[in-house]
Amino acid sequence: MFSKILIANRGEIACRVIKTARKMGIATVAVYSDADRKALHVEMADEAVHIGPAPAAESYLVADRIIEACKATGAEAVHPGYGFLSERASFCETLEKQGIVFIGPKPKAIRAMGDKIESKKFAAAADVSTVPGYLGVIEDGDHAEKIAGEIGYPVMIKASAGGGGKGMRIAWSKSEVREGFERAKSEAKSSFGDDRVFIEKFVVDPRHIEIQVLGDAHGNAIYLGERECSIQRRNQKVVEEAPSPFLDEKTRKAMGEQAVALANAVDYQSAGTVEFIVDKDRNFYFLEMNTRLQVEHPVTELVTGIDLVEQMIRVAAGEKLALKQSDVKLNGWAVESRLYAEDPYRNFLPSIGRLTHYRPPAEGEHGGTIVRNDTGVTEGSEISMFYDPMLAKLCTWAPTRLEAIDAMSEALDSFVVAGIEHNIPFLSALMQHPRWRKGRLSTGFIAEEYPDGFQPREPEEDEKAVLAGIAVAIELIRRDRLDRLPGRLAPHSGRVKSDWSVRIGDDYLPVNVTGGRITIPLEIDLAIDGTKPVTIASDWRPGDIVWHGTVGGRRVTAQIHSVLNGIRIAWRGLSVTARAMLPGTAELDRLMPVKVPPDTSRLLLCPMPGLVVSVAVKEGQEIKAGETLAIVEAMKMENVLRAERDMVVAKINVKQGDSLAVDAVIMEFA
């Protein structure tokens, strides 16, 4: 076994590998760029080596600097994590020549499976079912249009060296092929240094289901069940689960055996994933093989009890697999939510800044469920534009799927993140979505269910009652605390006011205090909106961000943020301002004028912090609705900004290469 390994990665996956290495008694070496000098993985490792400037192309992607770090520290092996150099065969070969072990598959397997075009050719030759498509070199936009027409729409345009949804576009018609081809090539070149793309048939209403495989150097290979990864946005996974609610045992076995056969064909020696597209009739087609650890590997670990990172290290050290296929049992259900630094209310555009608050829910077992949080940040961490926007992978396990989903809902509601925008509100709303809860999924789920983007859902009547109850309970505690502060000129006198009115949106809900005590922990009886009294109990104290308690026996976890004359409550995907007032104040509040936001219809505002890739128009130019105005790159993704209607460009305020903040004015219209 190795005595010291280097992790050639950053963020949560570097921290994840360090945890297992520490458990195995192996010393660890972290590498870091200028932007990651104070990162969590640097703090966790036994040693850390600086490898260059912030851009990945000048640090994490420079193989020579990784090798120099190994030699300087005496690291015997390198774990690549995922992304960066994890699927680069030349890196693996260079390590071997230097006598350093690559904790992953051999170059042969990486070359055969790591390239999407070559892997499909290899799979087809091995009689693995593949999606119809064109795997040759596509010369230009005209060639792409011709191929797409021959295959039949819709088609998927994909980067050969791609991953993480980058360099990938769906085209539903001829008019969309050329731009999709150009954007895929451009993203592929900037993200992977390889601009080759291919085109294949896009399966309508597909599910993305993958099989985890594990092989050693002694000819043994097994599969560890499947993961359902169909909840995606822009071809990037958002929520995963294991097992899939769609597969039956027969299909699971067939997919698993086919995945193992493919792994055996390339002498696969490590943890890897064979990805399939599955149609509504459970027909499955090989998509690609990821010759590395997957981002979503924790859900497999939770349902199998197998530490995949440990298995990778043991295989790389030459050990035989200690597991047989018959040893693999799927126990319970696990769900993973990817927490991204992105604004769900601005079409999920990236967000950067400092984490002023970062307080995940407590990990471990909680009443028959398990919470796990794989993360690479802490409170105070800086989220930059240079790397992937993922903050954490929050996972929950429970005996059944709905129990795991409900555990995830509560964990998300208690996960405090501030200082940047994040997608927790969307994830919380998703956990309540009827179609998700029923398991009726496809890769088009988000586009179909949120065609106009995500907005906070409106509370149902019973939810308004819960929110109103929380608002009054908090207001009573707040006032009681103020009344008990020493030195007040007007201390509390008389009984607590029993009649209240809570404004939620345009509604004013009457609330009557019928009994109980205003102490901490609080236990008070409220009649809300004319209903019979319910008991609200909580140990919330002023200043707490998370409110834990019960409302009429219903367990509630919500986040509380102070706003002018009220509180903002985030709960189950709701984001509601609630203002608890005395009835007389509420009558006056009804008379207050409504503030109208400023008109920005004649401005093109930058929707996210990023770099200007290009400006497609000139001052004085007449443009039509749908035309491209500019392209802004953020966190490795190119975002095309289009005209919403016919206009004339009056002024352009930016140029190619400019760095922009959110809401920076890119151009003005006449």
Amino acid sitting at position 575: S
CB atoms within 10 A of CB 640: 14
Helices 297-304 and 308-316: crossing angle in degrees, nearest 10, is 100
393, 336 Cβ separation under 8 angstroms: yes
CA distance 504 to 219: 64
The active-site residue out of 76, 240, 288, 475 is 288
As a whole number of angstroms, the distance between CA 164 and CA 525 comes to 51
- In angstroms, what CA-CA distances link 552 with 529, 569, 581? 14, 18, 22
The strand pair at 77-79 and 101-102 is best described as parallel
CA distance 293 to 50: 24
Closest CA to 116 of 206, 212, 184: 184
CB 608 within 8 A of CB 346: yes
Active site residue 622: no
Query: 616 near 534, Cβ under 8 Å?
Result: no
Element (H, E) at 285: strand 284-290
Residues in the chain: 670
In terms of DSSP bridges, do strands 4-7 and 77-79 run parallel, antiparallel, or are they unpaired? parallel
Q: Rounding to the nearest 10 degrees, give the CA dihedral for residues 122, 125, 128, 132.
A: 80
Half-sphere exposure of 92 (CA within 13 A, CB side): 19
For residue 579, give the nearest of 569, 587, 567, 588 by alpha carbon: 567
Q: Say whether 366 sits in a helix, a strand or coil.
A: strand
Give start and end residues of each alpha helix (H) in 33-97: 40-44, 63-73, 89-97
Tell me the sheet residues that pair with 252. none
For residues 597 and 222, give the distance between their C-alpha atoms in angstroms, rounded to a whole number. Answer: 59
CB 413 within 8 A of CB 570: yes
Rounded CA gap, 144 and 170, in Å?
13
Residue at token pair 């796990």: 372
Structure tokens belonging to residue 254: 């067939």
Token duo for residue 513? 């205090």
How far is the first Cα of the chain from the last one, in angstroms, to the nearest whole number? 69
Tell me which residues are annotated as active site.
288
